């Protein structure tokens, strides 16, 4: 049941989290003679993905890491995609929702959620490339999505506008976490600190005469940045400021919405 071939026929419901595809056996619980179970598979996958990246994860290499043959894995999952979907949701579980609940007011809740989300993406740089390809409807992803929705809703925006505002905030966080994660991963691969990597990259671009036209414009910006701190500090500072922009924008739109609603009531009464 729920073979890879079947899965492809119904993309709308194509997720390990939906009944149509879920397999009954081996879902969880005790491990077999080889000490294998789905949890161990997922945990090991995440470690390998963090260390070596998406491209290097194969069923055979994963199996070797677990002291088992590749075919054993297929007792616990239907496809390699399933493993990645489980890994994805497991990472969403790292978002500290207790810290969100402890935060005071929607602004602070949005900030905490954004920071937790960003940090998760940076810890697992393979996530961003993959998240868009799945429905992201695992229990942890749904829980995070629910908190995001509630935080934005509490701003006072009309219900019809919360999805849009949510999207503005968290698509930004997603994109920001993606490039930050990419940057730190590539720097690490090059065996450099982020600071060295930054200055080295800029130097490389300046050597290219093809960039002298357009990059000149941004040159003063690039120079200005490192004078204000390390690359790590710049990531934080830029992130905080962008959240300032977004929160200020939401505040304005809340006010506009209230003014419009009042005008409507005035016209009616």
- Find the shortest distance in angstroms from Cβ 65 to a copy of itself: 22
**Judged by CB under 7 A, how many residues of this single chain contact DNA?**
29
Q: If contact means CB under 5 to 8 A according to the sort of partner, which of a copy of itself, DNA, none does residue 48 touch? A: none
Does residue 75 interact with DNA by CB under 7 A? yes
Looking at beta carbons only, is 68 or 115 nearer to a copy of itself? 115
- Find the shortest distance in angstroms from Cβ 66 to DNA: 9
In whole angstroms, what is the distance from residue 17 CA to residue 119 CA?
A: 25
- Find the shortest distance in angstroms from Cβ 190 to DNA: 19
Looking at beta carbons only, is 63 or 95 nearer to DNA? 63
- Find the shortest distance in angstroms from Cβ 126 to DNA: 13
Residues 76 to 135 in contact with DNA, rule: CB under 7 A = 78-81
Does residue 11 interact with DNA by CB under 7 A? no
Confirm if 53 and 47 have CB atoms less than 8 A apart: no
- Find the shortest distance in angstroms from Cβ 104 to a copy of itself: 21
In whole angstroms, what is the distance from residue 57 CA to residue 52 CA?
A: 7
Looking at beta carbons only, is 61 or 256 nearer to DNA? 61
- Find the shortest distance in angstroms from Cβ 32 to DNA: 2
Q: If contact means CB under 5 to 8 A according to the sort of partner, which of a copy of itself, DNA, none does residue 92 touch? A: none
**Which is nearest to 231 in space by CA: 267, 192, 205, 204?**
192
- Find the shortest distance in angstroms from Cβ 68 to a copy of itself: 26
**Which is nearest to 124 in space by CA: 99, 147, 97, 92?**
92
Tokens matching residue 268: 């009616």
Burial group, residue 15, by CB count within 10 angstroms (0-12, 13-18, 19+)? buried
Residues 18 to 57 in contact with DNA, rule: CB under 7 A = 25-26, 30-36, 57
Q: If contact means CB under 5 to 8 A according to the sort of partner, which of DNA, a copy of itself, none does residue 35 touch? A: DNA
**Which is nearest to 76 in space by CA: 145, 23, 13, 132?**
23
Q: What is the largest CA-CA distance in the chain?
A: 75
Q: If contact means CB under 5 to 8 A according to the sort of partner, which of DNA, a copy of itself, none does residue 208 touch? A: a copy of itself
Does residue 189 interact with DNA by CB under 7 A? no
**Which is nearest to 15 in space by CA: 31, 23, 123?**
23
Q: Rounded to whole angstroms, what are the CA distances from 175 to 51, 84, 90, 100? A: 21, 20, 20, 21
Q: If contact means CB under 5 to 8 A according to the sort of partner, which of DNA, a copy of itself, none does residue 75 touch? A: DNA
In whole angstroms, what is the distance from residue 253 CA to residue 100 CA?
A: 24
Looking at beta carbons only, is 32 or 105 nearer to DNA? 32
In whole angstroms, what is the distance from residue 16 CA to residue 7 CA?
A: 10
In whole angstroms, what is the distance from residue 144 CA to residue 101 CA?
A: 12
In whole angstroms, what is the distance from residue 180 CA to residue 124 CA?
A: 11
The residues of the shown chain that bind DNA, judged by CB under 7 A, are 3-5, 25-26, 30-36, 57-61, 63, 68-72, 74-75, 78-81
């Amino acid at each position: 049941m729920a073979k890879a071939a079947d899965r492809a026929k119904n993309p709308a419901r194509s997720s390990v989290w939906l009944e149509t595809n879920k397999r009954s056996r081996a879902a969880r619980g005790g491990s077999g003679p080889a000490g294998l179970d789905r949890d161990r598979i997922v945990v090991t996958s995440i470690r390998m993905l963090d260390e070596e990246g998406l491209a290097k994860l194969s069923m055979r290499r994963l199996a070797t890491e677990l002291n088992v043959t590749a075919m054993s894995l297929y007792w616990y999952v239907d496809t390699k995609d399933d493993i990645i979907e489980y890994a994805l949701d497991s990472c969403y579980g790292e978002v500290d929702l207790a810290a969100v609940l402890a935060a005071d007011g929607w602004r602070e809740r949005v900030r905490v959620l954004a920071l937790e989300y960003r940090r998760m993406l940076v810890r697992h740089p393979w996530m961003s490339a993959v998240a868009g390809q799945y429905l992201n409807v695992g229990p942890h992803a749904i829980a995070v999505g629910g908190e995001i929705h509630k935080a934005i809703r509490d701003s006072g925006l009309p219900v019809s506008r919360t999805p849009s505002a949510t999207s503005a905030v968290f698509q930004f966080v997603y994109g920001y976490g993606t490039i930050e994660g990419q940057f730190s991963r590539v720097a690490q691969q090059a065996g450099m600190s982020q600071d060295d990597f930054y200055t080295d990259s800029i130097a490389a671009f300046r050597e290219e005469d093809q960039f002298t036209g357009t990059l000149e414009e941004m040159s003063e910006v690039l120079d200005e940045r490192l004078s204000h701190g390390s690359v790590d500090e710049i990531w934080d500072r830029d992130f905080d400021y962008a959240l300032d922009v977004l929160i200020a924008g939401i505040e304005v739109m809340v006010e506009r919405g209230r003014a419009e609603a009042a005008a409507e009531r005035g016209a009616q009464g």
